[in-house]
Amino acid sequence: MWAAVTEQDVAAAREPALGGDANATATLFSLYADADGAVAEWINETLGEVAQAYPGVFLAQLVEYNRGAACTNIVALGPDLVDEYQLQANELTARRAALLSVNDAPLLHARERCVEQLDQAIARSTAAAALMNAD
């Protein structure tokens, strides 16, 4: 029987994951598939924070989760940065720098996939910030 992922499920793994716990990070990845709406977004936001603080843990668990085939979790920023395009670009740039600090060969493919996603998101946020400042 299928059971939806709840906020409590995420909350139980969130703090340990933000502390660099690989098992909690793996749990967040595994919860993502059955999460919907706000819960999935919260998982993404948390995984993005883990990527910045513990890029090696994030990439290792991403590779375990889907072999690094996709990096869909890296650009979620949360409600505090909605319409704050320059702050978005700054946060995404910090995540990018963190990921580029990882040089473990088994993680390089996943790292590059995530950096590609970040580069696209940084470009969008930077362009939006420029438009806002042009007014």
pLDDT reported for residue 52: 95
Band (pLDDT 50/70/90 cuts) for residue 10 is: very high
pLDDT reported for residue 3: 64
DSSP 8-74: HHHHHHHHHHHTT-HHHHHHHHHHHTT--HHHHHHHHHHHHHHHHH-HHHHHHHHHHHHTTS--TTS
pLDDT reported for residue 4: 79
| pLDDT, mean over the chain | 91
pLDDT reported for residue 135: 60
- Range from 39-43, 75-79, 111-115 carrying the lowest mean pLDDT: 75-79
Residue 2 has pLDDT above 60, yes or no: no
Residue 1 has pLDDT above 60, yes or no: no
Angle ∠(129,45,10) on CA atoms, nearest 5? 165
For 52-108, how does the pLDDT look when each residue is reduced to its tens digit (9 = 90+)? 999 999 999 999 998 877 887 789 888 888 888 899 999 999 999 999 999 999 999
